[in-house]
Amino acid sequence: MSRYLLRRVALAVLVVVGVVVLTFVIARVIPGDPAASWAGPHASRQEIAQVRTELGLDLPLPQQILRYFSGVLRGNWGTSIHTHQPVLSDIMDRAPASIELVVTAIVIALVVGLPLGLASARWAHRAPDGLIRIGAVFAVSMPAFWLALILQLVFFQRLHVLPVAGQYDPNLDYTHPLTQYTRMVVVDSLITANWAVLRSGLSHLVLPALVVASYPFGVITRMVRGSELDTLGEDHVRATRALGFPERAIFGRFALKPALVPVVSVIALVFAYSLVNTFLVETIFDWPGLGSYAADSISSLDTPAIVGITLFIAVIYVIANLIVDLVQAWVDPRIALS
């Protein structure tokens, strides 16, 4: 078990390094001069040259990469060109809001997708199955940015029921100021018993979370259905039937548990995908998270920020994968033993 874990961690580190090297190399190889954009449009040739030396851009590429990684390990992720703040502190400021959004979305996707996927498998090839499958296909076919705008149109402009911008009503800052511990509004307002902000925060969370939940919902629903149907065809299910267990127990216990193993692994994938999806959604909802920071970095060609965000998400992704591996090993003993 511990050797298994060690191997996973080693592979994870390899993945993070590989991804950063890739992004780094491409950012450096392409035309364009980061030193010039750093120094600004009015900088002299001399100033640009000075910046180049400062940033280490005159070093050979492998050395630049080493320099970057040794900085990363010491907590220096470079300085953002558009905020002129350290990239790491920018990211730490913004990440909690995004993680709150994505976690809520995944929870919604699971709570809705799991039962629907099972219903789809239970009544496979009948009317409910058809409806659910078509719904799931639509869910994975929605461009997140478009869904965000359409939901705004329907729920805010037409129905006037839900707020569309920000994390909570800014007027509450005067009447019910929020003490920040985790920088996640719902969590902070919950632990400080700030009910006014909590109510406002939840209502602001609904629409963006629904948008981000769309893709994972579709994937989870299809996965649960397929996995359950696959499992129902396996030898051990037939053997369980031959022991006299009722269909209910077979479907809901003996087939369900092994069927969930591949579903767990897909959650890590959709978690990372959804985190990236917030890049498209957060600006639309004025959500002060990593996504809008990333969108700003992209539009201002802020290479250190882009590489930093890539690194951060790589790390998050790898951690999510590790957690999933552990959960899987716990659910399915075959994995830990192999």
Partner 1 sequence: MSAPEPRLALRDVAIDIAGRRIVELGRLELAPGEVVGLAGESGSGKSMTALAILGLTRSIGAQVRGSIRLDGAELVDASEAELRGIRGRRIAMIFQSPVSSLNPVFRVGDVFTRALRLHGLGSKAEAKDRARLALQEVLLAPDLLERYPSQLSGGQAQRVAIAMALALRSEVLVADEPTSALDVTVQQEILDLLRRVRDETGMSVLCISHDLAVLAELCDRVAVMQGGRIVETGPARTVLTDPRDDYTKELVAAVPRLGGGPA
Partner 2 sequence: MSAEILVTADTEGALQAIRRGLRANRLLAIGLVMALLIVLVAILAPLLAPEAPDAVHPLQTLLPPSSAHWFGTDQLGRDLFSRVVYGARISPVIAFLVLAISCAVGIPLGIAAGYYGGRIGEVIMRVTDVFLAFPALLLALALAAVLPPSLGSVTLAVSVTWWPWYTRLVRAQAASVAGRPFVEGAKASGVSDLRILLRHVLPNSLTPLIVQVSLDVSAVILTVSALSFLGLGAQDPTPEWGLMVSQGQVYFPGQWWLVTFPGAAIVFTAVAFNLLGDGLRDVLDPRRLVTTR
d(CA 156, CA 159): 6
End-to-end CA distance of the chain: 9
- Which of 213, 260, 313, 329 touches partner 2 by CB under 8 A? 313
Give backbone dihedrals phi and psi of 134, rounded to 5 degrees, phi first: -65, -40
Which is closer to partner 2, CB of 12 or CB of 87?
12
- Subset of residues 143 to 162 that bind partner 2, contact rule: CB under 8 A: 143-146, 149-150, 152-153, 156-157
Identify which range of 51-59, 83-91, 135-143, 191-199 contacts partner 2 by CB under 8 A: 135-143
- Comparing CA positions, the residue from 38, 41, 148 lying closest to residue 82 is 38
333 binds, among partner 1, partner 2, none (CB under 5 to 8 A by kind): partner 1
192 binds, among partner 1, partner 2, none (CB under 5 to 8 A by kind): none
Give backbone dihedrals phi and psi of 40, rounded to 5 degrees, phi first: 95, 165
Identify which range of 13-21, 106-114, 312-320, 330-338 contacts partner 1 by CB under 8 A: 330-338
331 binds, among partner 1, partner 2, none (CB under 5 to 8 A by kind): partner 1
265 binds partner 1 (CB under 8 A): no
Tokens of 48: 């640009």
331 binds partner 1 (CB under 8 A): yes
Give backbone dihedrals phi and psi of 330, rounded to 5 degrees, phi first: -75, -40
Q: Quick one: 161 exposed, middle or buried, by C-beta within 10 A (0-12, 13-18, 19+)?
A: exposed
- The distance from CA 98 to its chain's CA centroid, rounded to whole angstroms, is 8
Which is closer to partner 1, CB of 258 or CB of 288?
258
- Subset of residues 229 to 258 that bind partner 1, contact rule: CB under 8 A: 234-246, 254, 257-258
The minimum distance between CB 336 and partner 2, in angstroms, equals 20
d(CA 208, CA 201): 12
d(CA 109, CA 270): 10
Tokens of 298: 């992209």
333 binds partner 1 (CB under 8 A): yes
206 binds partner 1 (CB under 8 A): no
Which is closer to partner 2, CB of 189 or CB of 227?
227
CB neighbours of 306 closer than 8 A, spacing ≥ 6?
23, 27, 294, 297, 298
- Subset of residues 206 to 265 that bind partner 2, contact rule: CB under 8 A: 219, 222-223, 226-227, 230, 232-233, 237-238, 262
32 binds partner 2 (CB under 8 A): yes
CA atoms within 13 A on the CB side of 276: 14
CB atoms within 10 A of CB 157: 9
The minimum distance between CB 262 and partner 1, in angstroms, equals 12
- Comparing CA positions, the residue from 136, 127, 128 lying closest to residue 109 is 136
The minimum distance between CB 125 and partner 1, in angstroms, equals 12
- Subset of residues 158 to 187 that bind partner 2, contact rule: CB under 8 A: none
3-state secondary structure of 79: strand
75 binds, among partner 2, partner 1, none (CB under 5 to 8 A by kind): none
- Comparing CA positions, the residue from 155, 168, 164 lying closest to residue 200 is 168
d(CA 245, CA 237): 10
Question: Amino acid identity of 315?
Answer: V
Q: Which positions touch partner 2 (CB under 8 A)?
A: 11-12, 14-15, 18-19, 22-23, 26-27, 30-32, 124-125, 130, 133, 137-138, 140-146, 149-150, 152-153, 156-157, 219, 222-223, 226-227, 230, 232-233, 237-238, 262, 266, 269-270, 272-273, 275-277, 279-280, 284, 294-295, 297-299, 301, 303, 306-307, 309-310, 313-314, 317-318, 321
Q: Which positions touch partner 1 (CB under 8 A)?
A: 234-246, 254, 257-258, 261, 331-334, 337
